[in-house]
Amino acid sequence: MSLLPARLAAHAQSQRVAIAESTRSISYNALWAAVLRFAGALAQRGIGSGDRVALLLPNSIEAVVACYGSWIAGAAVVPLNVQARARDHTVWLRHAEPRLLVHQTASADVDEALAALEFPPLTIAAGADSAHAHSWAAVVDACAAVAPASAAHATDLALILYTSGTTGSPKGVMLSHANLAANVASILDYLQLSDADSIVSVLPFYYSYGASVLHTHLAVGARVCLEANVVFPQVLVERLARERATGFSGVPSTYALLLDRVSLAAHDLSALRYLTQAGGAMPAATTARLRLALPHARLFVMYGQTEATARLTWLPPEQLEAKLGSVGRPIVGVRITIRREDGSAAATDEVGEVWAQGANVMRGYWRNQEATAAVLHDGWLKTGDLGRMDADGVLWLVGRRSDMIKTGAHRVHPIDVEEAIAELGGVVEVAVVGIDDAVLGQVIRACIVRRGNLDENTVRAHCRARLAAYKIPKQVVFVEALPKTASGKIKRAEVAAQAASTGAN
């Protein structure tokens, strides 16, 4: 099985567009040359096998060049969430110990994070300010290319994707080149992509879904058109029409925005061949409206986890109606079983925990054996998701065992938000939970036991200064006490249940 650097190299002579931003683009040929220059710049600095390169970049040509260039040089890539704040960046950089950080120019959060490190990495600043000695232009563009022999091996670490910024125990999912290659091959098996395809991507590369969209399309020589966000659905649909895009990938809230806020029928989207949806259950009504609005596009419902590179199951479009609400069957190369509490196999249609096995399952969490041992068991990944398998081998999810909140395209660990809020004077204790929301899937609610006259705005302003915007609680409620176990641990599930029964605010 070809590793991703080799798959990209296969298109090195192609003049077709690889990545198209809104105002500039790069061909496969030029992309490959830039990747080699980046690898050369790393080699000059002695960065290679066994090292890590952290990226703090929005989706961009530079982010792709830095990723593949690091792989060619033999280094692992640590793409960090650019929406996160200095408090998260510091934790991740200290934990991952990269030799190099590639970031955007003029970021106060990056400066703050670097200043907090005892041993800061080398830096390359990508962006408009090219006069800088550590600028992309000075370091990468000026570098002579190295020979195109990739130093990457199948078992080498390729990516570390952090799923939580919790101070005590950051979780960085370790994916090898073999993991990435296996998952890309499985996804291509059902999406059947080719170099005639083009996708408009709004999903960040530092999330597994966005990374998966990028790498699957580059592997076949397709065109990846980048849109910064979904703030203006009109802009997104105009781009889909203008690019004659054959594909689009979104989370449920993206599709809800497109259906509610744009007249899809007013645009020529006839080139759309496939739509993919992952990132949580989409309401059946939204699925039905999407099918009605874009009947010619095949809709692929998918399920997976960062710990499984990205994908675990897919629902063939032809079975969408018959199995609506399910997440389909395992992708090629993956086995799924449902287990009872005691680890024994559950019967057909019996609800239990979803366990997965395959070449796409992670090696573990970076420098976190305890967290790794909790989810990897005898070669199986315990997903923490609850589900049942029907008689046709189709998986139906019924909930999550863990507390992770899914809001829009984001995953939020309650502890990350609780730690930030707890630092605020006047907070006695706090529990953060997800509340069901029609558009976002879930929104974040903070339940606080306060001292004095702490108010909602103070809490949210405090969070705004410290957390990514999507982690700021939409709801802040003050309570007399929080439900606890006998040992004094807050029962988050009970807080969530109470919140659900009392409704919003």
Q: Give me the residues that bind other proteins (CB under 8 A), please.
A: 83, 229-235, 253, 257, 261-263, 408, 439-440, 457-458, 460-461, 464, 469-470
Residue 464 CB, nearest approach to other proteins (Å): 6
> Residue 375, SS3?
helix
CB of 344 to other proteins, least distance (A): 43
Nearer CB in complex with other proteins: 261/340: 261
- Residue 72's φ and ψ, nearest 5 degrees, are -60, -40
Q: Quick one: 49 or 234, whose CB is closer to other proteins?
A: 234
Minimum distance, C-beta of residue 234 to other proteins, in the bound complex (Å): 5
Instruction: Sort 503 into a burial class: Cβ within 10 Å, 0-12 / 13-18 / 19+.
Output: exposed
Amino acid at 332: V
The least CB distance from residue 121 to other proteins, in Å, is 24
The least CB distance from residue 237 to other proteins, in Å, is: 9
Q: Which is nearer to other proteins, 244 or 464 (CB)?
A: 464
Selection from 334, 310, 308 nearest residue 395 by Cα: 334
How far, in Å, CA of 155 to CA of 361, rounded? 13
Beta strands at 52-56 and 76-79: parallel, antiparallel or unpaired = parallel
CB of 270 to other proteins, least distance (A): 19
Of 232 and 396, the one with the shorter C-beta distance to other proteins is 232
Work out the burial of residue 479: count CB atoms within 10 Å of its CB; fewer than 13 is exposed, 13-18 middle, 19 or more buried. Answer: middle
Residue 25: CB atoms within 10 A of its CB come to 17
Instruction: Give me the least distance between CB of 258 and other proteins, in Å please.
Output: 10
Report DSSP letters for 53-107, one per residue: EEEE--SSHHHHHHHHHHHHHT-EEEE--TTS-HHHHHHHHHHH--SEEEEESS-
Q: Judged by CB, which is closer to other proteins: 60, or 313?
A: 60
- The secondary structure of 155-206, three-state, reads CCEEEEEEEECCCCCCEEEEEEHHHHHHHHHHHHHHHCCCCCCEEEECCCCC
- Considering beta carbons, is residue 36 or 236 the nearer one to other proteins? 236
Distance CA 455, CA 199 (A): 45
Residue with Cβ nearer other proteins (193 or 417): 417
Residue 112 or 195 having the CB closest to other proteins: 112
Please state the closest distance from residue 278 (CB atom) to other proteins, in A: 18
CA distance 327 to 393: 11
| 43 bridge partner residues | none
